[in-house]
Structure 1
């Protein structure tokens, strides 16, 4: 297989969240991830390694964590499909996360091989932990022999409302020349129809060659009138500027590690049904800032200074941490995070 452009954001297919509330969750995670890998054409050996990583992450959550859950999903970059696993918990956290991933280290009297195996079998892995607040771990596994260089400067994560399998909130991103375009869509309501509306917004976002957020939102508004509608916002990041447009209550913010945060303006309306007009706004982007878009299933009461060093981490770890701590269980939730600069 040939290489994939390093900065190209992947297309995402959600396979599901596994709630880790008993020892049987490891088996569920193993099957879900392994079956996804086989569907992508992984060799039996590599699919087995995917299953091991999923089971180890779930087992680690069961042993050490409170309110643990594991996200399993497919990533597609070009013609290559991979498996991404994200474990989140509100447990005691780890003061020395890198050391905790070394084979032989354990805080529970076990052999401590789990996180070392995750790191060893994965193409890329990482984590972020704050003592007393919990831990986020992520791993990506690609087919044996695949060449996938680097990671994109953007990631997002969605979680359905408690009791639903389908999430009505979705994230997408794509490159346009030297600019990064990021979308979050929140289908009205919950369940399959909300998911279909958000999926239609994502499909229309990928189908257009437009690169101005205002024009993109207007295109989405026309394209998804056959659905129940959605709230949606689009950010365009290039150099030291972010341009932003939205209809409805998908929030956008520019957040700096020092605590400064600037909200971006979306207009009232429902994509596909109600609009009094779309307006696009431009904002300066500090060099170390991150751009955060999230649905209204995520509270706006998060602060980057509460997580020292988080803004320098993989955007997926930032998104997962904010989703864990600011996401509400009575609604679908989605967070997307992009860095201020886009690699060339």
Structure 2
């Protein structure tokens, strides 16, 4: 079973991959505790999303990911894209002579749905399902967390709890990196989620001493106070993206090995701001300005676009996007 929050990438480049992707999604959902009603919807949506990747995009990837609150599917491609997404959403509209009910049925059967497409650049489609026992966070968020190419486990971990976000990148990649990042996740979900950020980071530092360590950052959005707090050690990149973008400051060091002075910094926040946090498997110089309208999309769709277009292939890669 893959770690919570780690995405499984299912390549879909030919018709034979469609059923295989659907079966893999269902196996993952069963392992995550999904019941029969949810599995029935999930099977149809996974099938339609995979079919669309083959029929309309010439292939792409279907990403499956689960956390405490949601099961998430992202279909991501670099195909021809759509010039008019609203028209493509309508039932009985098709560019290739099919029945044209795919996107409409995906939307109707999902708890959350969104998509983003640019002609000539591809499409990202989100279908998200609420877990019956899940407790949604105070933030609207989306994430994509994938292992180093060729690895079966991911050395990154992330979690959203209430208004707090944690991203941890275990040093290197593979099993030992995963042990470090998952340890950080466990500690954060214990006492760390309630402590002042600097104290929580110190707790992570002590807990990761028995591992190879890593980089970590915690953000807390205090919407009522109009601010976001950020405490980072190492190369987890944080950015606030609104009318202007602003980088967030991390301290030097390696959590679990050696850190200097741990500081928490405060930045202004409003309801139009996006919080973006990435591990170093994502190019930290990411720029959303060439993507008209993307900032208004669901954070999971934004995360999918960032992962597709700014991922490096030399490490585990995690991007999380959140807004109030």
TM > 0.5 fold call = yes
Cα distance in 2 between the residues matched to 1:93 and 1:173? 31
CA contact (8 A) 1:50 1:83 kept: no
Give the distance between the partners of 1:148 and 1:275, measured in 2 at CA: 34
| 1:203 is the counterpart of 2:191 | no
Tell me the residue number matched to 2:104: 116
Matched, 1:70 2:58: no
- The residue number in structure 2 matching 1:172 is 159
TM alignment of 1:82-231, pairs within 5 A: 82-142=70-130, 152-175=139-162, 180-208=163-191, 209-231=193-215
Maintained 8 Å contact 2:147/2:154: yes
Distance 2:36 2:265 in 1: 50
Q: Does 1:247 align with 2:233?
A: yes
Which of 3, 9, 12 aligns to 1:17? It is 9
Contact 2:82-2:119 at 8 Å conserved across structures: yes
The alignment partner of 1:103 has SS state of: coil
Deviation larger for 85-94 or 43-52: 43-52
Map 1:245-324 onto structure 2 (within 5 A): 245-256=231-242, 258=243, 260-324=244-308
Could you say what secondary structure the match of 1:224 adopts?
Answer: helix
Alignment partners' CA distance in 2, 1:111 and 1:321: 28
Q: Distance in 1 between matches of 2:303 and 2:188?
A: 21
Paired position in structure 2 for 1:7: none
Q: Structure 2: give runs of 5+ residues left out of the alignment.
A: none
Match of 1:51 in 2: 43
Helix, strand or coil at the partner of 2:98: coil
Output one character per residue of 1:101-132: Cα deviation in whole Å (capped at 9) or x when no partner: 23222122222222222112222211111222
State the TM-score, normalized to the length of structure 2.
Answer: 0.90
Could you say if the C-alpha distance between residues 41 and 213 of structure 1 is closer, same or farther in structure 2, counting changes exceeding 3 Å?
Answer: closer
Name the CA distance, whole Å, in 1 between partners of 2:15 and 2:97: 17
Q: 1:112 to 1:249 in 2, by over 3 A?
A: same
Secondary structure (helix, strand or coil) at the match of 2:68 reads strand
Q: Is the 8 A contact 1:127 1:317 kept in 2?
A: yes
- For 1:233 and 1:146, how far apart are their aligned partners in 2? 27
Q: Displacement of 1:294 after TM fit?
A: 0.4
- Whole-angstrom distance in 2 between the partners of 1:278 and 1:150: 26
Distance 1:216 1:202 in 2: 12
Structure 2 match to 1:3:
none
Q: CA deviation at 1:246?
A: 0.9
Q: Which runs of 5+ in 1 are unaligned?
A: 1-10
Deviation string, structure 1 residues 43-101 (Cα, Å, up to 9, x no partner): 54542331221121112112222661111122323xxxx52211111222112223312
Q: TM-score, normalised by structure 1?
A: 0.85
State the alpha-carbon separation in 1 of the partners of residues 134 and 195 from structure 2: 29
Distance in 2 between residues matched to 1:222 and 1:150, nearest whole Å: 27
Q: Do 2:19 and 2:47's aligned partners in 1 also have CA atoms closer than 8 Å?
A: yes
Report which stretch shifted further, 101-110 or 270-279: 101-110
Distance 1:285-1:147 versus aligned 2 partners, 3 A rule: closer
Contact 2:148 / 2:154 at 8 angstroms: preserved in 1?
Answer: yes
